Chains A and B, each alone.
Chain A
Amino acid sequence: MKIVVAIKQVPERDAPVRIDAAGRWIEEADLQWALNESDAYALEEALQLKEQHGGEVIVLSAGPERVGSTIREALAKGADRAIHVDCDDLGQRDALAVARLLSAAIQPDSPDLVLTGLQSDDLGYGQTGVILAELLGLPHASLILHVEKSGSGITVKRELEEGWFQNIELPLPAALTIQSGGAKLRYATLMGIKRAKTKEIRRLTAAELGIAAQASITLDRIALPQKQKTTQILTGTAQETAAALVEKLKFEVRAL
């Protein structure tokens, strides 16, 4: 199976978020970056399918030069080659415009399977994979935990709410958005890191793909959320705050 996995580089989870001077995005200067969480599971699923059925895993990422480090991480984990859509204007693109870039980059490869993460941890649109399916004219399923080959197609396990699941059968080629938690993630080995250095990373620009930065949705400004409750923050040393909380739980909440 030829599998394309779309991977996004996002700010590291514990990174401090500071709103930039224009109030339209966060300060990116001293952020640490990482592979988006559900994309790591999408990559894992692709690598396991390749181990079982053979084929090729191609990772695809759109973003500025820095996303090269995330691409190399994926290559070190076992992806065969990569496509980097080099663009600095992701901020001016909505989910559809990003998906147009990715779709144009995927098309020449005509893969059997296109995998994306369910949702990006920064913008959190939860849309790109489903839009990609539409643009590529592929059937799709979302929120997928596991993929199994069955005859000429695949059977996938979809997560529903509150601990329920369902199976969906799809013909190939198809697109899937992968939810976290379906498989155990692998680490890159030293050998993998070494091998990654020789693997192909093809660089393309939005201009080469002929996709302009246009958007019907714009992010005007960002802010800190408003509180729903008035929280009593207990202050002091660990011992003092612990004692204060026990007092509250005992005498105000009456739970001890």
Chain B
Amino acid sequence: MSGILVVLEDRDGRIGRISWEAVAAALQLASTVSQPVHAVVFGADTSAVAAEAAARAVNSVLRVDHALLKTYSSDGYTHALEQLIRARQPEYVVFPHTYQVRDFAPALAARLGQSLIGDVISIGGGPVFTRLLMQGRLTGAYRHSGGGPCFVSVQSGAFRSDSVPGGAAPIESFVPTLDTAQIRTRTGEPFRAGAQTVDLGSAQLIVSVGRGIKEAENLPLVQDLATALGAELGASRPICDSGWLPMERQVGSSGQTVAPKVYIAVGISGAIQHLVGMKGSQCIVAINKDPDAPIFEVADYGIVGDLFEVVPALTAAVKAAKQ
């Protein structure tokens, strides 16, 4: 058993940024365990993406081509990768932590008697893999032991995609055996829920509210601050899940990605799915009663305190400053 397989995903025929980040992670792992890195591409015809992968500093590119891999299915991908892994016996298998990977990689690992170390943010000597626990409030250091390959997926943004050097890798083919009966689910085309009427993406100022607000009745408190600032109102997911604000105001991985001049997070803890949607903001302000809330890790200015005291005071101060 040796070598590192890194499984790449493409969108519209191009390898995505998060897949290059997974390659960066695999290269870093390679430098601690001294093993070669092989990139794996999937599809009905992977010639273009294989060529794109081969132009980077990997030891080889493995093309896994089959008509039944044209669109993603958990069954198709699991069967194909299982066969590849049994044939190549890698010691590590690295994935980008995408919605697709979280849908099949745990089943694949289980089929090989393993547990995936998911959503890894750093890799150290040993190797030790670090991931977040308790919604980002803690980190945990994980190790793999025992026989069998070690499966790892890496969090979006944790490794630098531009750190992957160029190269000229040889391309090999692997043809899995699949038949239609093995694919038990039928997947429809992606669709959007409804027309978006709020464009948070172009807002200059955003005040976002989280579960710290406690009740829907308290929302006007934050709305008043947004109005005083001339800001758009945003929210974390639970606020939209509860129906307190429409989903189009949700900031984060399953909502909108925003990058305003100022983003004020009120009573938001700072889970990774929220952070990915707003960490590109120029200036981040966090108001939270918990000094250890992960939102403070990305904030430029922080106020540790009760939002029910701080927000009205801030609204008053903004109004005074604007007179």
Question: Hey, which bits of chain A sit against chain B, CB under 8 A?
Answer: 11, 13-14, 17, 19, 26, 37, 94-97, 99, 121-128, 130-131, 133-135, 139-143, 159-171, 180-181, 184, 215-229, 231-235, 238-239, 241-243, 245-246, 248-250, 253, 255-256
Contact = CB atoms under 8 A, between A and B. Distances in A.
B262 A220 contact: no
A124 B139 CA distance: 11
Nearest to A252: B283
Nearest to B307: A238
A234 B301 contact: yes
B299 A218 contact: no
A98 to B, nearest CB: 9
A216 B301 contact: no
B107 interface: yes
Given A130-B107, A164-B191, A248 B301 contact: yes
8 contacts: A26-B134, A127-B102, A141-B103, A163-B256, A167-B187, A167-B188, A224-B292, A233-B296
Contacts, number: 250
Contact of B297 (A14, A131, A228, A245): A228
A233 B292 CA distance: 12
Contacts of A140: 74, 107, 185
A242 B111 CA distance: 55
B135 interface: yes
B55 interface: no
A227 to B, nearest CB: 5
B139 A225 contact: yes
Given A139-B184, A163-B247, A123 B193 contact: no
Contacts of B110: 96, 99, 131, 134-135
A14 B37 CA distance: 43
Contacts of B141: 219-223
A232 B193 contact: no
B282 to A, nearest CB: 7
Contacts of A13: 211
- Report which residue of B106, B190, B254, B255 has the largest number of chain A beta carbons within 10 angstroms of its beta carbon: B106
B204 interface: yes
B254 A162 contact: yes
Contacts of B134: 11, 17, 26, 121-122, 124
Interface string B113-152: 1111111000000001001111111111111111010000
A238 B309 contact: yes
Interface in B220-255: 229, 237-238, 240-241, 243, 247-248, 253-255
Contacts of A128: 106
B87 interface: no
A26 B78 CA distance: 35
Contact of A219 (B140, B188, B317): B140
B185 A169 contact: yes
A123 B21 CA distance: 24
A143 B131 CA distance: 21
A248 B301 CA distance: 9
B304 interface: yes
A255 B187 contact: no
Contacts of A124: 119, 131-135
Contacts of B299: 229, 231
Nearest to B183: A139
B203 to A, nearest CB: 12
Contact of A255 (B74, B186, B204, B317): B204
Contacts of B304: 233, 235
Given A96-B110, A134-B110, 7 more contacts: A13-B211, A17-B138, A127-B106, A142-B102, A169-B186, A233-B301, A241-B310
A184 B241 CA distance: 8
A184 B238 CA distance: 12
B142 A215 contact: no
Contacts of A245: 285, 301, 303, 314, 317
A242 B117 contact: no
